[in-house]
A and B are shown apart, each in its own frame.
Chain A
């Protein structure tokens, strides 16, 4: 058989015995037809494509990216550990040089999971990409520069939250406009925290965007930004719900569009996120994606019900996308000229206040995050979070926790202040649990 240009490692785990609930989109059947298509196409017999078993993520691996409340065990099931562990396996395959590229084709997804985890939101409990990124920095070097390009139709809000103030990570999310789709965020003005301003880039696409618009953004915005940022690794959070047949979204992207996107982006690691057109889209999108990753010809991959009319992108949408792309490129180019004091104040702390709703588990969380504005490192952080079931959860109800975060390459001052805050929070008696997340020392505490 034809050898592709690239050796690709596939970590396929469809979790055929797990569902959120029997009729939930995240159910046993989700990757059944994808499996059927991949097997029937004989893709695993291709000399450049090799399949691997997923690993199982440990408490420590999860704690590098998350504060699970009350504990990892209480919010995470085996299915989540395997999805995260399989994503870590995909990273190891590439970083140890076993393969050139890898694809974690597994479920459940993770990109809506924030750093603080009280439960499940947007079908996600823990963030597969974030756990992988922290594993990579822990194992292969904390100075690796990592770019995540999220092409799910829903805003990658969880991943954005976790790397919001992380200068080592660039996060670009292309998604259907948050005014028209869950989770309702991901606007142009969400641009990152004080230590990583401009490195969060949101591209809200109008409903009706097709291959043309998606690929326009890749070619005219994403690729130039990557060229500028010079990442050591490019990760694609590859949701497949921009497809024209997806039941939850209103986009018009095709399997050909996804394959071309993959070819253009040439990511090192691809991680499946959402995508719930399990019969009409996933089998074809995944076949095309795998071929594109392996450097093989994908031109004959086509949905049986494909028609020009279904996937045509209206001209007004093309115009809107071109305009926005220009605007975002301008913002990227001038990101270092921005006066950060005007946005984040003069310190010593910058505070943001927000509410997070966990739709899957019906939990409301209220959060106050304080970031130390530090001139030598990205600054230690303190998060106060309270959550309870139902819409009335918040800082005045339910379990309130405090989490102290010490970032990669924290300066001595920040480390000292953070440790003092951790002691102080414990003594105050105000909190049900107090957490310390110290990635550099790989130390995670919960008191």
Chain B
């Protein structure tokens, strides 16, 4: 089967066509931000020459649509109906969008402690429609434990024929706690839903334009894919899919699929650092952060620093009296095009070109640019260039160290985890991007680990989009004392029969069953791809008697990225010590 991966970026739209584990074609067209569908069509056109039309084609699309809407604040107005109950005041959350407060509340175990007042809800919905609101988001505190009040608001909105074009319910977006994040996620979701629906319509028309494109999937921030249909319900999950696509590309192309690795994508302006532990990508602990909004959107963990091939190089004056020599600071701003490629100021790329470490651009021009820097430092040209290379490497290694220090200092809540933390340290440094060939071996050497520079650094994002597979997670929560179970992502509220016999094993089975169900909707038939990622089990004791158990299991369809052979365009690697 052929898969076309397309990453519609801010400047360019990249495309890659893969068949089984081979890259058959790649292409690039400029992005037209006002017409993302046309950019997609043009990029697709650029690679379809290599497609034999008789075989089915699957399209994997990563777009900046929702990211741009959120970042530029172009979303539709949303009526956010919140059921906060007691606790922190909504006014103090500074969410950046208006929230309407409804009566009602649910407690930490999912018990309704105060009911909704239907008349109040209906009056609020009516006035929202009068004010011209087309989208509704209903969000309750602890709705991940009991979504019934959100469902009740939805039912009231539908029964009353208020005519909302889109309704988002908080619990459907995530089974994780955090009411303010649930509010923000739901608001953003509802605010991009209208434009997403328009986009999906256009993609469908594109599919009908004579080409027999099979299914279309959209890339998500967690590096997995979702169906077009699901993207109408949860469009917010498509934010930040661009960086995720590159990381998935690295995971698809690397020789080091199973161990611990750090993945570094060195671009012109920024460098992204991501972490792989035992072959699995590490995720943001709670969710993506975008344009100041903290969300529950599952996202790959990534640290971005202002360091790249085009970075500005500044000379920091040494201490008076010459006790300390002047030193270099690279980034965080971009200097512009490297001198070797026609720019005016020296960049890290020029330092590499001056030393003959890269074949990019004109080495003589690079040397002239570095000469200026050398004068300021009181060094020869080669020495100065070497200083730049060393400084870049040092800053990169420091940023990698910081990312690991952050991950290793994250709170844990059990003695066993505190005393015996898992080993997440990398054994290999996987590099992507133009400057990677210069800096990755040096950084790896400084860290005392092996390295690998991947091929296709220009197209890794599109390859990653093509290689991605569906992902989804469910949260199964059972409270046997209440005899209640919920799977918020699936709208499930059910009873536990024979709670006395309901144990961790039963809960695991249930969670896996729900994840399989979710997987089937996404076209995942292989149950091997379902894994349990978190589990908790607490005995509940009241007055010296065990009265039940609280079990929470999170199961997911794993982001099992397709393996792509480096082929003739093989990368470079060194196993290290």
Taking Cβ atoms with an 8 Å cutoff, the residues of A that contact B are 1-2, 12-18, 22-23, 27-29, 32-33, 35-37, 39-43, 45, 51-54, 56, 78-79, 82, 247, 279, 283-284, 287, 291, 296-297, 299-305
A79 and B88 form a contact (CB under 8 A): no
What separation, in Å, do the CA atoms of A14 and B413 have in the docked complex? 6
Given A35-B413, A42-B180, CB of A297 within 8 Å of CB of B539: no
Closest to A47 in B: B94
Q: How far is the CB of B173 from chain A (nearest CB, A)?
A: 15
Q: How far is the CB of A53 from chain B (nearest CB, A)?
A: 6
Known: A17-B414, A305-B113. 8 other contacts (CB 8 A): A16-B538, A27-B539, A40-B178, A52-B409, A53-B411, A56-B418, A56-B419, A304-B113
Given A15-B414, A23-B545, A54-B418, CB of A300 within 8 Å of CB of B88: yes
What separation, in Å, do the CA atoms of A29 and B109 have in the docked complex? 13
Interface string of B259-295 (1 = CB under 8 A from A): 0000000000000000000000000001000000010
Please indicate the chain A residues that have their CB under 8 angstroms from the CB of B177 in the complex: 36, 39-40
Q: Does B541 contact A (CB under 8 A)?
A: yes
Please indicate the chain A residues that have their CB under 8 angstroms from the CB of B114 in the complex: 304
A2 and B93 form a contact (CB under 8 A): yes
B550 and A32 form a contact (CB under 8 A): yes
Please indicate the chain B residues that have their CB under 8 angstroms from the CB of A247 in the complex: 543
What separation, in Å, do the CA atoms of A295 and B282 have in the docked complex? 34
Q: Does B142 contact A (CB under 8 A)?
A: yes
What separation, in Å, do the CA atoms of A296 and B92 have in the docked complex? 8
The listed residue (A2, A35, A82, A300) touching B87 by CB distance below 8 A is A300
A78 and B415 form a contact (CB under 8 A): yes
Which of A1, A29, A296 has the most chain B CB within a 10 Å cutoff? Answer: A1
Q: How far is the CB of B134 from chain A (nearest CB, A)?
A: 27
B89 and A300 form a contact (CB under 8 A): yes
Given A2-B94, A29-B538, A33-B109, CB of A297 within 8 Å of CB of B89: yes
Given A45-B178, A299-B89, A300-B86, CB of A37 within 8 Å of CB of B108: yes
A15 and B94 form a contact (CB under 8 A): no
A82 and B415 form a contact (CB under 8 A): yes
Interface string of B541-573 (1 = CB under 8 A from A): 101111000100000000000000000000000
B544 and A23 form a contact (CB under 8 A): yes
Given A36-B108, A40-B142, A304-B105, CB of A52 within 8 Å of CB of B411: yes
Given A39-B177, A40-B108, A45-B181, CB of A13 within 8 Å of CB of B89: no
Q: Does B48 contact A (CB under 8 A)?
A: no
Given A23-B546, A29-B539, A304-B114, CB of A53 within 8 Å of CB of B412: yes
Which of B108, B178, B536 has the most chain A CB within a 10 Å cutoff? Answer: B108
A301 and B93 form a contact (CB under 8 A): no
What separation, in Å, do the CA atoms of A12 and B539 have in the docked complex? 21
* 24 cross-chain CB contacts under 8 A: A1-B95, A2-B93, A17-B414, A22-B541, A23-B544, A23-B546, A27-B539, A29-B538, A29-B550, A32-B538, A32-B550, A36-B108, A37-B87, A40-B179, A42-B181, A45-B294, A53-B409, A53-B412, A297-B89, A297-B92, A299-B89, A300-B87, A304-B113, A305-B113
What separation, in Å, do the CA atoms of A29 and B413 have in the docked complex? 12
What separation, in Å, do the CA atoms of A12 and B413 have in the docked complex? 8
Q: Does B540 contact A (CB under 8 A)?
A: yes
Please indicate the chain B residues that have their CB under 8 angstroms from the CB of A13 in the complex: 411, 413, 418
A41 and B87 form a contact (CB under 8 A): yes
What separation, in Å, do the CA atoms of A302 and B84 have in the docked complex? 12
Taking Cβ atoms with an 8 Å cutoff, the residues of B that contact A are 84-89, 92-95, 105, 107-109, 113-114, 141-142, 177-181, 286, 294, 409-416, 418-419, 536, 538-541, 543-546, 550
Closest to A290 in B: B88
Please indicate the chain A residues that have their CB under 8 angstroms from the CB of B550 in the complex: 29, 32
B415 and A79 form a contact (CB under 8 A): yes
Q: How far is the CB of A406 from chain B (nearest CB, A)?
A: 34
Please indicate the chain B residues that have their CB under 8 angstroms from the CB of A45 in the complex: 178, 180-181, 286, 294
Q: How far is the CB of A24 from chain B (nearest CB, A)?
A: 8
Please indicate the chain A residues that have their CB under 8 angstroms from the CB of B536 in the complex: 16
What separation, in Å, do the CA atoms of A304 and B107 have in the docked complex? 8
A27 and B541 form a contact (CB under 8 A): yes
What separation, in Å, do the CA atoms of A22 and B414 have in the docked complex? 16
Given A22-B539, A291-B88, CB of A33 within 8 Å of CB of B108: yes
Given A23-B541, A32-B550, A45-B178, CB of A301 within 8 Å of CB of B87: yes
Closest to A4 in B: B92
Please indicate the chain A residues that have their CB under 8 angstroms from the CB of B84 in the complex: 300
A302 and B86 form a contact (CB under 8 A): yes
Closest to A32 in B: B538
B411 and A82 form a contact (CB under 8 A): no
What separation, in Å, do the CA atoms of A22 and B84 have in the docked complex? 34
What separation, in Å, do the CA atoms of A27 and B540 have in the docked complex? 10
A51 and B89 form a contact (CB under 8 A): no
Please indicate the chain B residues that have their CB under 8 angstroms from the CB of A300 in the complex: 84, 86-89
Please indicate the chain A residues that have their CB under 8 angstroms from the CB of B89 in the complex: 297, 299-300
A283 and B294 form a contact (CB under 8 A): no
Q: How far is the CB of A176 from chain B (nearest CB, A)?
A: 20
Which of B92, B95, B410, B543 has the most chain A CB within a 10 Å cutoff? Answer: B92
Please indicate the chain A residues that have their CB under 8 angstroms from the CB of B92 in the complex: 1-2, 296-297
Please indicate the chain A residues that have their CB under 8 angstroms from the CB of B181 in the complex: 42, 45
Q: How far is the CB of A14 from chain B (nearest CB, A)?
A: 5
What separation, in Å, do the CA atoms of A18 and B538 have in the docked complex? 11
Closest to B92 in A: A2
3 closest A-B pairs (Cβ-Cβ)?
A: A42-B180, A304-B113, A39-B177
Q: How far is the CB of A294 from chain B (nearest CB, A)?
A: 10
Which of A42, A302, A304, A305 has the most chain B CB within a 10 Å cutoff? Answer: A42
A301 and B94 form a contact (CB under 8 A): no
Please indicate the chain B residues that have their CB under 8 angstroms from the CB of A2 in the complex: 92-94
Q: How far is the CB of A376 from chain B (nearest CB, A)?
A: 45
What separation, in Å, do the CA atoms of A404 and B109 have in the docked complex? 52
What separation, in Å, do the CA atoms of A11 and B108 have in the docked complex? 22
Q: How far is the CB of B90 from chain A (nearest CB, A)?
A: 9
What separation, in Å, do the CA atoms of A53 and B300 have in the docked complex? 23
Closest to B412 in A: A53
Given A29-B540, A300-B89, CB of A1 within 8 Å of CB of B413: no
Closest to B538 in A: A29
Closest to B110 in A: A36
The listed residue (A78, A79, A279, A304) touching B86 by CB distance below 8 A is A304
What separation, in Å, do the CA atoms of A78 and B418 have in the docked complex? 10
A15 and B107 form a contact (CB under 8 A): no
What separation, in Å, do the CA atoms of A40 and B176 have in the docked complex? 9
